[in-house]
Amino acid sequence: MVKIKTSNLNVWFDWEIALKNITLDVSENEILGIIGPSNSGKTTLLRTLNRLNELYPGSRVEGKAELDGKDIFTEVDILSLRKRVGIVFALPLPLPLSIFDNIAYGPRLHGIKKNNSLSEIVEKSLKDAALWDEVKDRLQESAFKLSGGQQQRLCIARTLAVEPEVVLYDEPCSGLDPISTLKIEEAMKKLKSNYTQILVTNNVKQSARVSDRTAFFLMGELIEVGITAEIYTAPKDKRTDDYISGRFG
Amino acid sequence: MRDTRRTERIAFALLFLATIVIVAPVGIILFIVLWHGLPGLSLEFIFSMPREGMRAGGIFPAIIGTLVLTIMTAVFSIPVGILAAIYLNEYAGKNWLTRMVEMAIINLAGIPSIVYGLFGLGLFVAFLNFGTSILAGSLTLAIMTLPVIITATREALNAVPQAFREVSFSLGASRWQTVRGVVLKNAIPGILTGAILGLSRAAGETAPILFTAAAFYLPQLPQSVFDQCMALPYHIYVLSTQVPNVSPKIQYGTVLVLVLMVFMLNIMAAFIRAKFRKRKTW
């Protein structure tokens, strides 16, 4: 079943175009990897899908993007859209709160007040993000005391805590060591059964490891998208081939 | 080599001199005020009414007047200032109207205090008929303090990383939930320091209360906000220009009390800042 669908999606920042005519489907429970050099519009696509771009005056969208067949710009309330489509940012961004309160921040926004329900959510989210065993005895400590890799898993847990349907990852491992990266990738694979996931990555191999399909973006255009194995072994476009094999720019 | 070292020495000397030029006047003023004022300071001086045409006795009513004016100025200006700053920073779009408001605030901060005094006389004392009163005086001081508080609050809000707001929005928070949950929480120390510094300036102002609140001499303490009051800055002006033969002990003592009150506010601000800086973790 198609979860997210964009058709002829264009995004501008002031007078500069950042995404050109993107038409793309993401199926339920799929992991879609998006690769491409910097400035190719990968992050912009993610930030359009949960309408975070709109925080910047000067951003403009044309075309359609749908979640479960409903237009996200007109038919879905922006606050519930952001709850349903969560995002994990490139840098670990814990809020200046305790580990517990970081994860409880989202559920509290949506009206969950009882301590035992919050505790349950915190535990479940941390387990899903593969962080529970490392932090279960120090939930009241500041989130800044965690290592970078732990902080990023904390951010994943925080995103999961509001029970999204889609999780967007914006280069989630760009500042992390290989072991932390591995832990995050394993968490993503486990989350497949419940979530639709889109992974933007600068690391070509990462998409090969975790994604079902891979899309290649260049200069704001979607060059091609297909089953990951096919993209990596027999890309249709020469530019994809060049990028994957490292012959690019 | 030799040349670089000489330039270095000259630069150092110049920078050091500039620092001395700033610090020295403060030190000298404090020294003179303490030197002449301390002998006059006593419990009786602080807690009794003036006698013999203000040439003896204490300055209790002026202290109370300044306290009441400052507290009421805080009550009027801090909430309005903070709310306005939150609106301008977190809600309002960037358009010609907000730019005009910003320009207005910057210009308000530069208006001479006597102009505020005349404005208060026209609006609060005469037009709104509050008379020369604590109410009119503190409203005038509040309007003078507003730009300081708004500017300080906006700086504190801007110092909260944009990323925190994005995280909050990305979890489905509304604007107000974001402001309350991540922005204000981390901006409050900066806001408080700014507000206190603004107030400490208001506490020492003479011109805005000259026509709106201050009395030359009152035999009793004010009974309501519609009464006039004595106030320390105006009392100092009176003692040094309007009343002949006041002993320097009383003049400097009064100055010392005002300086100490303002100083205490500033120290409080510094204390709050230091305390929260330790807690700041990003």
Can you give the pLDDT at residue B222? 87
CA separation for the pair B266, B193 (Å, rounded): 8
CA separation for the pair B124, B34 (Å, rounded): 37
Can you give the pLDDT at residue A1? 85
Contact B170 A80 (CB under 8 A): no
Written as six digits, the tokens of B136 are: 């009119």
Q: Closest CB to B164: pick one of A86, A95, A109.
A: A95
Written as six digits, the tokens of B132 are: 């020369």
Chain A hits for B186, Cβ within 8 Å:
96
Contact A109 B167 (CB under 8 A): no
The ipTM, to two decimals, is 0.91
Contact B281 A144 (CB under 8 A): yes
| Helices vs strands, H then E, count in chain B | 12, 2
* Phi, psi (rounded to 5 degrees) for A136: -60, -25
CB distance A96 to B186 below 8 Å: yes
The DSSP symbol for A216 reads E
Between β-strands A221-227 and A213-218, what pairing exists: parallel, antiparallel or unpaired? antiparallel
CB distance A54 to A31 below 8 Å: no
- Could you list the residue range(s) of the whole structural domain that residue A162 is in? 2-244
B174 close contact with A: CB closer than 8 A: yes
* Phi, psi (rounded to 5 degrees) for B49: -75, 155
Can you give the pLDDT at residue B282? 54
Those of residues 178-197 in B touching chain A at CB distance below 8 A are 181-182, 185-186
- Specify if A228 maps to a domain: yes
- Specify if A73 maps to a domain: yes
User: Which sign, positive or negative, has the C-alpha torsion A189, A206, A166, A26?
Assistant: negative
- Sequential pLDDT tens for chain B (282 residues): 568 888 999 999 999 999 999 999 999 999 999 999 998 888 888 888 888 877 888 889 999 999 999 999 999 999 999 999 999 999 987 888 888 998 999 898 889 999 999 999 999 999 999 999 999 999 999 999 999 999 999 999 999 999 999 999 999 999 999 999 999 988 988 899 899 989 998 998 989 999 998 888 888 888 888 888 999 999 999 988 888 888 888 899 999 999 999 999 999 888 888 887 776 655
Of the candidates B187, B176, B163, the one whose C-alpha atom is nearest the C-alpha of residue A155 is B163
Those of residues 252-281 in B touching chain A at CB distance below 8 A are 280-281
User: Which residue does chain A place closest to B279, by CA atoms?
Assistant: A96
- Specify if A119 maps to a domain: yes
The b-or-e profile of B162-199 (16+ CB within 10 A means b, else e) is eebbbbbbbbbbeeebbbebbbbebbebbbbbbbbbbb
Q: Closest CB to A109: pick one of B164, B165, B173.
A: B173
- What is the least distance, in Å, from the CA of B168 to any CA of chain A? 8
- Specify if A39 maps to a domain: yes
Contact B167 A95 (CB under 8 A): yes
CA separation for the pair B171, B249 (Å, rounded): 64
Cβ neighbors of B246 (< 8 A, separation 6 or more) are B54, B55, B239, B240
**SS3 label, residue B74:** helix
User: Which residue does chain B place closest to A163, by CA atoms?
Assistant: B171
B97 close contact with A: CB closer than 8 A: no
Q: Where are the alpha helices (DSSP H) in B111-247?
A: 113-120, 134-159, 162-170, 175-178, 185-203, 207-210, 232-241
Chain A hits for B93, Cβ within 8 Å:
57
- What is the least distance, in Å, from the CA of B280 to any CA of chain A? 8
Exposed, middle or buried: residue A63 (CB in 10 Å: 0-12, 13-18, 19+)? middle
Can you give the pLDDT at residue B279? 67
CB distance A208 to A177 below 8 Å: no
Those of residues 61-80 in B touching chain A at CB distance below 8 A are none
Domain residue ranges in chain B: 2-40, 43-279
CA separation for the pair B83, B70 (Å, rounded): 20
Pick the CATH number of B43-279 from 3.30.160.60, 3.40.50.300, 2.160.20.80, 1.10.3720.10: 1.10.3720.10
What would the pLDDT profile of A221-249 be if each residue is shown by its tens digit?
999 999 998 999 888 998 998 898 887 64
**SS3 label, residue B220:** coil
Contact A79 B170 (CB under 8 A): no
Can you give the pLDDT at residue B223? 87
CATH of the domain at A196: 3.40.50.300
Q: Walk along chain A (249 residues) in steps of 10 and give the mean pLDDT of each run.
A: 92 91 93 92 93 88 92 92 93 91 93 91 92 91 90 94 94 86 90 94 90 93 92 89 79
Chain B hits for A144, Cβ within 8 Å:
281-282
For chain A, the domain total comes to 1
Phi-psi region of B48 (alpha: psi -120 to 50; beta: other; left: phi over 0): beta
CA separation for the pair B130, B109 (Å, rounded): 25
Query: How many Cβ atoms sit within 10 Å of the Cβ of residue B28?
Result: 10
Q: Closest CB to A57: pick one of B93, B165, B174.
A: B93
